[in-house]
Amino acid sequence: MKRFLRQILTAALCLSALGGCMKWDYGRTEDFSATERGLFIVNEGMFQYGNATLSYYDPETKTVENEVFYRANAFKLGDVAQSMVLHNGVGWVVANNSHVVFAIDPDTFREVGRITNLTSPRYIHFVSDEKAYVTQIWDNRIFIVNPKRYEITGHIECPDMTAESGSTEQMVQYGKYVFVNCWSYQNRILKIDTETDRVVGQLTVGIQPTSLVMDRNNKLWTITDGGYEGSPYGYEAPSLYRIDPETFSVEKQFRFRKGDTPSEVQLNGTRDTLYWINDDVWRMPVAGEQLPVRPFLEYRETKYYGLTVDPANGDVYVADAVDYQQQGIVCRYTAKGEPVDEFYVGIAPGAFCWK
């Protein structure tokens, strides 16, 4: 779940952090053969409703198939689908409140394996073919898994966190180190040595860094949301940070106004331009010296919830969650901001994965 939903549901989630149960309903399967290049859309669904789904879009034909996981496997994806990544021809879908990571064939959408008994998984990052890290919320550990055997093999203890305040999110690797942003009621970037599986450094940034990417110059970028008014952790103006992974220090801080809610920092295919959501959709060259004054795409009185950029042609895809209860919409634009397509997906589309 992203920032908006979690602020509303914090109390309920804390009472039932491990309470998301799924009843696997089996029915008739469908055959797919999506061998062409395409885009997966990860739809969170509604918390504790078990209606997370996976959609697949063909940019060439402008066609979308919804609920492909359910249709291919005859059981539901689970409760709160959080993220997806491809590794060595396998798609890995993280179902947060079902405590599972599914491995699927990205052409047929059929399950080929699953990692279970996770606390509340967020993202998966592959260190090698036989080792991956899975970040968590409401757990002060990052899980170490063997993706070939679909087994948990260990944990990375995160300093200065309790199980209740634990929050680790997106991961970026530079050399032998993996960097992780700590989001919910946190304000740090962690540095993990992948040879020892230990946290060897931490960098304090602003309140609640939401996402993490690395540009073409091997600089890390994170964007903070600043918390919210009345938060016990604090409330401040958000910032965009450029971090040097070599020295593990902040090189540049770009400050937003207090009350802004930036999130979803992304890069284009050449990794020289940043994009993010702050009501509008904004973009800025990684060499920029100040925040842009005009948005790339203006706010449409809706709920921009997810963002991705086509690495091949620079088209920008924006997910609109509408009201978090009905089908969401994905809007596609050229790199010049011209509308290309618009299509319906599942409830609360929040993440993307290119194939």
For 64, 185, 228, 329, 355, the CA distances from 207, given in Å and listed in that order, are 37, 7, 10, 30, 33
What pLDDT, in 10s, does the model give residues 249-304?
Answer: 999 999 999 999 999 999 999 999 999 999 999 999 999 999 999 999 998 888 99
* Residues whose CB falls within 8 Å of the CB of residue 10, separated by 6 or more in sequence, listed in order: none
Q: How many CA atoms are closer than 13 Å to the CA of 79, on its beta-carbon side? A: 18
* Residues whose CB falls within 8 Å of the CB of residue 293, separated by 6 or more in sequence, listed in order: none
H or E stretch covering 202: strand 198-204
Residue 19 has pLDDT above 70, yes or no: no
**Nearest CA-CA partner of 83 in 66, 69, 101, 68:** 101
| Pairs from 140-148 (Cβ < 8 Å, separation ≥ 24) | 140/165, 140/166, 141/166, 142/168, 142/180, 142/192, 143/118, 143/119, 144/197, 145/101, 145/115, 147/87, 147/92, 147/103, 147/115
CA 154, 157, 161, 167 dihedral sign is negative
Res. 20 pLDDT band, cuts 50 70 90: very low
Distance CA 144, CA 126 (A): 10
Contact 61, 34 (CB under 8 A): no
Q: What is the arithmetic mean of pLDDT over 159-164? A: 92
166 by Cβ neighbours in 10 Å (0-12 / 13-18 / 19+) ranks as buried
Res. 320 pLDDT band, cuts 50 70 90: very high
pTM for the model stands at 0.93
pLDDT at 302: 85
pLDDT at 15: 33
Distance CA 229, CA 350 (A): 24
Distance CA 83, CA 4 (A): 16
User: Parallel, antiparallel, or unpaired for β 209-214 and 220-224?
Assistant: antiparallel
DSSP 153-173: EEEEEPTT--TTT-B---EEE
Distance CA 288, CA 242 (A): 11
Distance CA 307, CA 351 (A): 7
Q: How many CA atoms are closer than 13 Å to the CA of 324, on its beta-carbon side? A: 17
pLDDT at 26: 65
pLDDT at 21: 46
Q: Which residue has the tokens 């449409």?
A: 300
- Alpha-carbon Rg for the chain, nearest whole angstrom, is 19
Contact 102, 131 (CB under 8 A): no
Res. 164 pLDDT band, cuts 50 70 90: confident
